[in-house]
Amino acid sequence: MSKKRKSVTIDLSLARQIDRRSEINFSSLVNDLVRNYFAGDGMSHKSKAALEVQLQHVQEEIEQKEERLEQLRQRGEELQQRIDEYENEQAPIREEAIDVLQNTPGEDLHPENAAVKNWAGKTGIPATELIERVKNERQ
């Protein structure tokens, strides 16, 4: 049977154990584990070693996914905190915009009004939404 060189990385403690035991043919061991791993997909000839290798692979994948999930949760919390900070910073400006625009006559309270456009830009609120907020405050 022809062979192909492949590089593998193993834990340092395992490498030391293999180095201490001269009876272990590392290439043969890897061949056996890989052969058993793939044989584990079929219902016959499953060996404990192949199942353990598969289990370890699944556990490592779960751990990686859990780490990624935790990273995403932390990123989500950071983004929510930034949103909250932004809204807290913008609250006084929004209140000021609504107070100033309260004095604008109803017929002048439209999206093309220069004051409405100005305050919409300062607050980051679309002009139509800002107008609705002003109208709601009037009621």
Q: What is the pLDDT of residues 34-63, one digit of tens each?
A: 776 676 655 445 567 667 777 887 898 899
Nearest by Cα to 27 from 10, 51, 49: 10
Distance of alpha carbon 133 from alpha carbon 131, whole angstroms = 5
Q: What is the mean pLDDT of residues 4-32?
A: 82
Specify the pTM: 0.48
Q: What is the pLDDT of residue 73?
A: 98
Nearest by Cα to 96 from 120, 113, 112: 120
Nearest by Cα to 15 from 29, 5, 4: 29
